[in-house]
Amino acid sequence: MPDYTRNELNEALKDCAREPVHRPGAIQPNGCLLSTDLAIDRLFQVSANLEDILGISPADALAGDAIQLLGPQLVHRLRSRAVDEIVSPAIGEVVRLPVGSVEHRFSVRHYRSGQRAVVELELQQAEPDDGQLPSRSAWLQPVSTAGSPEQVLESLVRIVRQLSGFDRVMVYRFDEDDHGSVVAESRAPEADSYLGHHFPASDIPAQVRHLYSINPVRSIPDATAESVPLVPEVDPDDPAPLDLSPGNLRAVSPIHQSYLQNMGVGASLSIAIHDEDRLWGLLACHGLVPRPLSPSMLDDVSVLVQVAASRLMLLQANSEARYRQRIRQSRELMLIRDTGIIPTLDDLIRWYGANWLALFEASGLVLLNGDRRFCFGATPAADKLDRLTAYFACQQGQQPWYTHSLANSELAGWYEQGDPCGLLAVRLPVTRNRIGWLLFFRPGQKQTRTWAGRPEDNAERDPQGKLFLTPRHSFSAWTETVEDMSEPWLEVERLAALDLGEDLALVLFSREIDQLNTSLIDANRRLQKLAQTDTLTGLPNRRLLEDRVELSLARALRHNQSMALLFLDLDGFKKINDTLGHRAGDKMLQGVAERLQNLVRHSDAVARLGGDEFVILLDEIEAPGDAGILADKVLQVFSPPFELEGEMLTVSFSMGIAVYPAHGDSFRKLMHHADVAMYQAKSEGRNTYRFYSDLK
């Protein structure tokens, strides 16, 4: 094996993928081919074996037209199908054509290729006796009713082998990186088993995989046969080589011919298994020796593969749906919005962490939210998480980031043996400048992988020293042990993680909005309090007093009761302010407020109007006299001197009383009358009170 660099290998792989296998300019010898104009009239190219098959030389055929070669009946039949619509050959039609003096049965197909109609004729071998084969429904049934994907594949390979007589029938499944493995097999005892064996991606290069989307069937009845060129080599009117992808007869690439020979395979048939547009895998059939593959057999096997593919995808979709249902249930649990309680991320991870680890078959999870980090299960050490956080902080895009082999990913520098090997990371759709990621970790699993021959054991150098790949010489099992890989992340798991990420973001948003709301409500409360209270004494101000009086008036009216307002004005307050200063004055007002509050009932209210004016609301009084009793109490409480900043001060009030209903029925009137009565008290010598009704 030559030494080579990764780059050289990649170049060699690219060269493999560049071979124009779809236009080899030749066909396989089990049939012949004509290239005509779209009207199926003029002939441009024919295969060199025309004489062997139709009994007429290429030169003679090219000198005439399609009708002369194929007869008017067949040509009219072919013309009756609009060639524009024919992109892949219709199921071969069996026709009889005279070859010399004998009639032969042919299977005929035609398809459009650019500006040409291509007609393929295959000599029809004797059909197997239909009586020996089970009926179609009998062989379709086990596949179409299989209960599990494994059963579908098992039935498929078993029945195809029965129908076709191939020596080895396999289902080959592509992995994410385009390499693949044999996942089901039925074989004759003399054929080696490839079950469970892996094959590198280069065995079926990209352009070859692509051909299956044009023509799902690739039939090679004789891998040893020499190909038959087209004559003339170049179409006289169109130098572009004819694209033979839709046909059945396209010549086999020499590389693949030696591949099959190295494998000991004489006949090969492969049929695509598609999952929607994606090439999921192949049904791969081998004959140990060349064998004719009859068009009707190809047809039957194609039908079986289609039925198996749809059954397989249905079962797969069902199990994905069940999985998504489980995820949805967990998400619904999480979004318990009707309780009105929005959980914190801490809560969520404590409650659901174990459930999520089980659903995602993960060993640990980490949630990155801004500068906070929440961990659950087995997660890497803090310094590693710091580096991961830094990495994801710079990641763009909304698609999940995932690998089942960190050691071989962009994060390889981060990885050390013993770390989890698989990582699935989804971005939480949070604000752009904040980090929000949900990371799931999977442990590494020691796996042994058996390859059919050692991959990349097939590189050689040409005389110029350029590396090129050749088919492997040996396909015998070669076992590799892989340690730094986890189970891969399935698409359904990646989608589910995105869903979960969205929900987590939703919870985050709800919490933030909730917190904003709470602080708004607090702010409102503070504002309201500010608007309704006197900042110096903490007593209600005039506005709140007015509200309280209105309420009290309404109640008094309803219950036919009385209430009263006591207007208090501090005597000589200005002098205190002037002599002791404002600070002392403020202190005094606070002291006064406190004493007044101690005097009243809970249902009453003491308010400060500003300056040295206070008002007491007396709710629900029995008789006007009750207000007098309170006024007396005020006089009494303030009769001893008041201590302020070490000085003893005499404090007194002049008070006016207005009673509902006698002195007014509104806040404004009652206030006015109580105020007038207070002035009366002041003018009559202070330290006393007057009722409005006392005024003459």
Task: Report the residue from 283, 469, 621, 670 that binds ligand BLA according to the rule CB under 6 A.
Answer: 469
Cα separation of the two ends of the chain: 128
Quick check: 205 binds ligand BLA (CB under 6 A)? Answer: yes
Q: Is 33 helix (H, G, I), strand (E, B) or coil?
A: strand
Q: Is 49 helix (H, G, I), strand (E, B) or coil?
A: coil
Closest CB to ligand BLA among 263 and 545?
263
* Per-residue x/- track, 245-264, ligand BLA (CB under 6 A): -------xx-xx--x-----
- As measured in angstroms, the least distance from the Cβ of 294 to ligand BLA is 17
Cα separation, 31 vs 517, whole angstroms:
80
Closest CB to ligand BLA among 174 and 653?
174
Task: Report the residue from 108, 208, 242, 504 that binds ligand BLA according to the rule CB under 6 A.
Answer: 208
Task: Report the residue from 118, 159, 170, 366 that binds ligand BLA according to the rule CB under 6 A.
Answer: 170
Closest CB to ligand BLA among 458 and 552?
458
Quick check: 471 binds ligand BLA (CB under 6 A)? Answer: yes
Quick check: 16 binds ligand BLA (CB under 6 A)? Answer: yes
Distances (CA, A) of 170 to 67, 188, 192, 211, 216: 43, 12, 12, 20, 16
- As measured in angstroms, the least distance from the Cβ of 477 to ligand BLA is 13
Q: Is 631 helix (H, G, I), strand (E, B) or coil?
A: helix
Q: Which of 470, 484, 353 is nearest to 415 (CA)?
A: 484
Closest CB to ligand BLA among 369 and 458?
458
Task: Report the residue from 164, 270, 330, 562 that binds ligand BLA according to the rule CB under 6 A.
Answer: 270
**Does residue 226 contact residue 41 with C-beta atoms inside 8 Å?**
no
**Element holding 281 (H helix, E strand):** strand 278-287
Closest CB to ligand BLA among 284 and 406?
284
Task: Report the residue from 107, 124, 202, 680 that binds ligand BLA according to the rule CB under 6 A.
Answer: 202
Cα separation, 156 vs 273, whole angstroms:
12
Closest CB to ligand BLA among 200 and 444?
200
- As measured in angstroms, the least distance from the Cβ of 505 to ligand BLA is 43
Quick check: 161 binds ligand BLA (CB under 6 A)? Answer: no
* Per-residue x/- track, 18-37, ligand BLA (CB under 6 A): -x-x----------------
State which of positions 104-133 bind ligand BLA (CB under 6 A). none
| Total residues at interface with ligand BLA (CB under 6 A) | 27
Task: Report the residue from 47, 268, 294, 541 that binds ligand BLA according to the rule CB under 6 A.
Answer: 268
Cα separation, 469 vs 459, whole angstroms:
5
> Cβ contacts of residue 692 below 8 Å, gap of 6+?
656, 657, 658, 659, 662, 663, 673, 674, 676, 677
Task: Report the residue from 33, 43, 204, 504 that binds ligand BLA according to the rule CB under 6 A.
Answer: 204
Task: Report the residue from 199, 356, 689, 692 that binds ligand BLA according to the rule CB under 6 A.
Answer: 199
> Cβ contacts of residue 81 below 8 Å, gap of 6+?
90, 110
Closest CB to ligand BLA among 200 and 420?
200
Quick check: 298 binds ligand BLA (CB under 6 A)? Answer: no
State which of positions 625-664 bind ligand BLA (CB under 6 A). none
Closest CB to ligand BLA among 42 and 209?
209
Cα 328 to the chain's mean position, in Å? 13
Instruction: Tell me which long-range contacts 636-643 makes (C-beta under 8 A, separation of at least 24).
Output: 637/595, 637/599, 638/592, 638/595, 642/588, 642/591
- As measured in angstroms, the least distance from the Cβ of 96 to ligand BLA is 31
Closest CB to ligand BLA among 71 and 229?
229
Phi, psi of 545 (to 5 degrees): -60, -45
Cα separation, 389 vs 383, whole angstroms:
10
One DSSP character per residue, 337-356 reads: GGG-PPPPHHHHHHHHHHHH
- As measured in angstroms, the least distance from the Cβ of 205 to ligand BLA is 5
- As measured in angstroms, the least distance from the Cβ of 193 to ligand BLA is 11
Quick check: 220 binds ligand BLA (CB under 6 A)? Answer: yes
- As measured in angstroms, the least distance from the Cβ of 448 to ligand BLA is 19
Closest CB to ligand BLA among 111 and 614?
111
**Does residue 676 contact residue 695 with C-beta atoms inside 8 Å?**
yes
Phi, psi of 158 (to 5 degrees): -65, -50
Quick check: 284 binds ligand BLA (CB under 6 A)? Answer: yes
Torsion angle in degrees (nearest 10) through CA of 643, 649, 654, 660: 0
Q: Report CA torsion sign: 234, 235, 236, 239.
A: negative
Task: Report the residue from 215, 403, 458, 541 that binds ligand BLA according to the rule CB under 6 A.
Answer: 458
Closest CB to ligand BLA among 103 and 175?
175
**Does residue 595 contact residue 523 with C-beta atoms inside 8 Å?**
no
* Per-residue x/- track, 174-193, ligand BLA (CB under 6 A): --------x-----------
Q: Which of 206, 182, 207 is nearest to 195 (CA)?
A: 182
Single-letter amino acid, residue 98: P
Segment contacting ligand BLA by CB under 6 A, of 112-120, 198-206, 421-429, 519-527: 198-206
- As measured in angstroms, the least distance from the Cβ of 266 to ligand BLA is 11
Pairing of strands 653-660, 688-691: parallel
Q: Which of 623, 603, 618, 601 is nearest to 655 (CA)?
A: 618
- Residues making contact with ligand BLA (CB under 6 A): 16, 19, 21, 170, 172, 182, 194, 199, 202-205, 208, 218, 220, 252-253, 255-256, 259, 268, 270, 282, 284, 458, 469, 471
